[in-house]
Structure 1
């Protein structure tokens, strides 16, 4: 491309995202790219680098290394691919001279294990881990992740209306779900597929997406019900009228928990247990995503029913979801309650 064809862009990320829209990319996809690319810009700014045009290969390598301190390798690979595509496109249209991510991504392709062998934690060891969590909010969050297989963003998006418990807590009424799908089904968590990052749901702008295509009704067993009741008894008044189920009791008192807050909480406890090391990969570190892996592995082994587990995880085809939704009361719930492991 000649110098005459080159273009000058004040905000390369905004330019790239606008072009993605012209190419028909979904708003959710563009929001994901924006979150990663703005984070990349912030990383560069902290190191005195004036934006993506001034970044070289070593700066990109340092950014990828910083991601490994927080995310699993599969997530790191995804974020790196976003940045690589951004650079590749901006180079093709003449806004950038070169793509410093090319060698970085090529090297990652040779080293990343797409299906890492994860740390093996038995149910008794996990039970001992949970026993050390005294904070009622942290305990409710961790048990919800371990007992349901929810993704961290899905947990953060839960509102009080999504929870239907069968009895009252000691200090305040436990909510009966306002969701039609959960009425008549006590001890249930309703997971709404129609919540996306950057969009408003139940009157509140959301920062995370629910990655499900259909509604999922999750059974709540005795242990989880007790943990949720204990949390609701002390839960602070929420800042949002959406009444998030889980909100902060720390610096941002009453604010909806974010995935970052949950990750920080979980990794803090995991570090204390010797299950998390800065720089450690998915095969070593225990994170909220590891809890989803724990749920899948142990419940599948106990039930022998992959269909029930896939339904609960929310990652099956529509026809299977319809089958298990129809039989929820006498199939999914019964199988789950008969086989779910004890952690409290």
Structure 2
């Protein structure tokens, strides 16, 4: 049991009984508090009393969320949850000062996602050393991120039973526990078979991880942080200076499909977007390409 458990249980009762919030909202608030506690325990490697948490500590946590590519909307929701939690602790006289009092939520707005060119993606994947077991695994991981447009959580949660080898499809469990079927690219399928048949078959999965597709050296499911590290190392080795995350491969997957004429509804289905409005962000065109169009086709450009 964690040192915060009793306070978290009291916070849950407060949200349910005094605030009369929905079960879903309560669970989200509790999850936000647990994220903060795990940040201290796993990232900072400390156990800290709630009476000792400072504004600087919270700022460090929010910087970590930003570095981990949490969307501004997710950061805003987490800030809201933490503010409510520390307001509760203040109300219960657990703390004397609210460390979240001066926090401001990030400004929300639609930002065009960063993308990689196909040549850059080839350079990143091609630069991975495939002579090691981890190298073969990492190639398969990046092929899945780009070739099937997966989110990081979707990738790490793939089980062996989710792969339809003959048909070339993958069952994915996305946001809200919703499942969808997505195609696996030919390169993705090829490298997935190499990894499963030549690498993973020789691993000894830990109990509870027997059906997980991507394993670490210890036979356990890969974490979200590990996927970020794999991508970061591969990008640095390829000499690409852009700020790249695993989600960049998903953005590139969708952008390249749309730019090459794919139907927006099909892309929406593959990405698992509930609303077509979310997918429409990928209809943007590169500014350099637009300038080339002007220079090539407009009378002023020709002149």
TM-score range normalised by the length of the shorter chain: 0.7 to 0.9
1:130 lines up with 2:125 in the alignment: yes
Mapping for residues 123-272 of structure 1, pairs under 5 Å: 123-133=118-128, 134=130, 135-166=135-166, 186-192=167-173, 210-212=174-176, 214-233=178-197, 234-235=199-200, 236-239=203-206, 240=208, 242-248=210-216, 250=217, 253-272=218-237
Contact 1:145 1:291 in 2 (8 A): yes
Structure 2 distance, partners of 1:44, 1:164, is: 37
Query: Which 5+ residue runs of structure 2 have no aligned equivalent?
Result: 277-303
Contact 2:160 2:213 in 1 (8 A): yes
- Name the structure where helix makes up a greater proportion of residues: 2
Match of 1:305 among 263, 279, 294: 263
Contact 1:191 1:215 in 2 (8 A): yes
1:165 Cα deviation (Å)?
Answer: 0.9
1:188 Cα deviation (Å)?
Answer: 0.9
1:223 Cα deviation (Å)?
Answer: 1.0
1:262-299 Cα shifts (integer Å, max 9, x gaps): 122122222334557xxxxxxx5211122221122221
Contact 1:163 1:188 in 2 (8 A): yes
Structure 1 distance, partners of 2:56, 2:93, is: 22
Contact 1:140 1:224 in 2 (8 A): yes
Contact 1:45 1:51 in 2 (8 A): no
Aligned to 2:249: 291
Q: Secondary structure at the match of 2:175?
A: coil
Contact 2:116 2:249 in 1 (8 A): no
Q: Secondary structure at the match of 2:102?
A: helix
Where relative contact order (Cα < 8 A, 6+ residues apart) is larger, the structure is 1
Q: CA RMSD in A?
A: 3.1
**TM-score normalized by the length of structure 2:** 0.73
Aligned residues: 259
Q: Secondary structure at the match of 1:217?
A: strand
Structure 2 distance, partners of 1:305, 1:153, is: 26
The 1:85/1:40 distance shift into structure 2, 3 A limit, reads farther
1:211 Cα deviation (Å)?
Answer: 0.7
Contact 1:150 1:292 in 2 (8 A): yes
Structure 2 distance, partners of 1:10, 1:35, is: 9
**TM-score normalized by the length of structure 1:** 0.65
Match of 1:53 among 51, 54, 67: 51
Contact 2:162 2:170 in 1 (8 A): yes
1:314 Cα deviation (Å)?
Answer: 1.1
The 1:216/1:63 distance shift into structure 2, 3 A limit, reads closer
Q: Secondary structure at the match of 2:69?
A: coil
Structure 1 distance, partners of 2:44, 2:230, is: 27
Contact 2:8 2:30 in 1 (8 A): no
Contact 1:190 1:217 in 2 (8 A): yes
Q: Secondary structure at the match of 1:100?
A: coil
Structure 1 distance, partners of 2:30, 2:55, is: 25
1:160 Cα deviation (Å)?
Answer: 0.7
Q: Secondary structure at the match of 1:216?
A: strand
Structure 2 distance, partners of 1:293, 1:78, is: 23
